[in-house]
Structure 1
Amino acid sequence: MESKSEYENYLKASKKVKEIKGFYIHLLCYVLVISFLVFINLKYSPIHLWFIYPLAGWGIGLIGHAIGVFGTDMLFSKNWEQRKIKEFMEEEKRKNTNL
């Protein structure tokens, strides 16, 4: 039998997974629709590049969604820095070992 805290952790993790999945669905829709709009724009009215308006507007919304799901430090957080440093150190170690 699971304890209450384990169940609460499960619910919290499940919610987070759904949020991440929702973001990736949003991102896929963005890429597909914007690609279609770029195609339509360039094929039928290449003189006026109007696709940049929905690209920018929806893009701002997508960035907001990403921040809501992943937080503001999703790209360059302290954890990211530490992982990258470790990754580069291991890469250098492999290079030196292979010589």
Structure 2
Amino acid sequence: METNKRDKQLKARKRVEELKDFCIHLTVYVLVNLFIIITTVTARMNNGEDFVEGFFNFGTFATAIFWGIGLAFHAANTFAYNPFFSKDWEERQIQKYMEEDRREAEKFGKH
């Protein structure tokens, strides 16, 4: 009984650590990308572009976009989101294979 409680506590600690890591990642993402965007727009404006030209430029947001893709995968992993292999899908597959094994056992058990 004590082992089960310890396992649950370790699992909870791991979950909290994953959430903390994601929050740190998100905070760093926001701060660094704000700095990059402000610096990029300012540099473009100093080179003769107006604010709109400097702001609405792919290069201004390239880091945020590609890093954001990685952040989205981190979020999906942290919050256990998988649109392709949901818990419901996993349960159906488990039931399917258990049923196949049961039928195989019955088939060979009858002979």
Give the TM-score normalised by the residue count of structure 2. Answer: 0.60
Say how many residue pairs are matched.
72
How is 1:23-38 mapped onto 2 (pairs within 5 angstroms)?
Answer: 23-38=22-37
Deviation of 1:72 after TM superposition, in Å, equals 1.5
Aligned match of 1:83:
none
Deviation of 1:71 after TM superposition, in Å, equals 1.7
Partner residue of 2:71 out of 45, 48, 62: 62
Q: Which runs of 4+ in 1 moved over 2 A?
A: 46-49
Deviation of 1:8 after TM superposition, in Å, equals 0.2
* Matched residue type, 1:54: T
1:21-54 C-alpha deviation (Å, 9 max, x unpaired):
0000000000000000011011001545312110
How is 1:1-99 mapped onto 2 (pairs within 5 angstroms)?
Answer: 3-46=2-45, 47=53, 49=57, 50-72=59-81
Q: Which runs of 5+ in 2 are unaligned?
A: 46-52, 83-111
Distance 1:45 1:25 in 2: 30
Q: Which runs of 5+ in 1 are unaligned?
A: 74-99
CA radius of gyration, larger in: 2
Give the TM-score normalised by the residue count of structure 1. Answer: 0.67
Distance 2:60 2:6 in 1: 46
SS of 1:58's partner is helix
Question: Relative contact order (C-alpha < 8 Å, sep 6+): which is higher?
Answer: 1
